[in-house]
């Protein structure tokens, strides 16, 4: 099954959640320093809402090349999973557990696309990988997607589960690479969440295949 790369649509890019590092920036160095500076000794000066850190990057902006590659690769990977789920939800005579799975995948990965798109914007990184980079692991090619789109009934159910298992396995590989090589705390957290949730969904899909 060949890999392919899907460019994120303008709609997805326009729906960015502007994530800031405010919540994770409270643990900066110097916060436990005794009151030796005049500013820190003055009541209310440390925690005033108008006080901004002087040029130090927030935790959410700190990232390395592995973080960028993970996010740039996972956005089209998730986009394809949502597309495949939409195909199944548009079909008739699909068992309820499979439509429920497609709904769950779409509900989980759709918001993650928006979140990751926001990270790239915050990091001042391009929304897509530059030409020459490898394609997303486990992604379907155009022929695979066409087969899923035209399949019906039990055939469609089996094809969806088989394709999505391979798709999830690819996402887990990408997430594991991020876990070992990444730096950004938000991206690392997401990579672990993806690996955990998609491993569970693979088991669920394998069980569903046994019922068809």
Q: What is the CATH number of the domain that holds 88?
A: 1.20.1260.10
Residue 204 counted as domain residue: yes
Structural contact between residues 111 and 81, judged by C-beta atoms closer than 8 angstroms? no
Q: With 90 as the cut, is the pLDDT of residue 71 above it?
A: yes
pLDDT exceeds cutoff 60 at 200: yes
Sorting pLDDT into bands at 50, 70 and 90, what band is 133? low
Task: Tell me what pLDDT residue 58 has.
Answer: 52
> Is 42 contained in some domain?
no
pTM recorded for the entire structure:
0.72
pLDDT at position 129: 76
In a domain, 161, yes or no: yes
Question: Is pLDDT at 85 greater than 50 in this prediction?
Answer: yes
Mean pLDDT of 176-203: 98
Does residue 34 form part of some domain? no
- What's the domain range around 111? 65-211
Residue with tokens 């690996």: 195
> Can you tell me which residue has the tokens 């699909």?
94
pLDDT band at 128 (very low <50, low <70, confident <90, very high): confident
Q: Please tell me the total number of residues recorded for the chain in this structure.
A: 212
Domain total of the chain: 1
């Amino acid at each position: 099954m060949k890999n392919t790369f899907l460019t994120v649509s303008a709609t997805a890019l326009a729906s960015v959640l502007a994530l800031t590092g405010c919540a994770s920036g409270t643990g900066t160095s110097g916060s436990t320093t005794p009151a030796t500076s005049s500013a820190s000794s003055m009541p209310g000066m440390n925690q005033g809402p108008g006080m901004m850190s002087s040029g130090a990057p927030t935790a959410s902006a700190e990232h390395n090349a592995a973080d960028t590659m993970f996010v740039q690769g996972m956005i089209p990977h998730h986009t394809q999973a949502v597309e495949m789920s939409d195909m199944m939800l548009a079909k008739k005579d699909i068992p309820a557990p499979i439509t429920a799975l497609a709904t769950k995948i779409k509900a989980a990965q759709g918001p993650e696309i928006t979140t990751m798109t926001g990270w790239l914007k915050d990091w001042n990184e391009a929304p897509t990988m530059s030409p020459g980079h490898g394609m997303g692991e486990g992604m379907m090619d155009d022929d695979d997607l066409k087969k899923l789109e035209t399949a019906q009934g039990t055939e469609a159910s089996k094809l969806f589960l088989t394709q999505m298992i391979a798709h999830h396995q690819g996402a887990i590989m990408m997430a594991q690479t991020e876990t070992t090589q990444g730096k950004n705390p938000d991206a690392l957290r997401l990579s672990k969440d993806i690996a955990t949730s998609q491993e569970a969904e693979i088991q669920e899909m394998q069980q569903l295949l046994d019922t068809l």
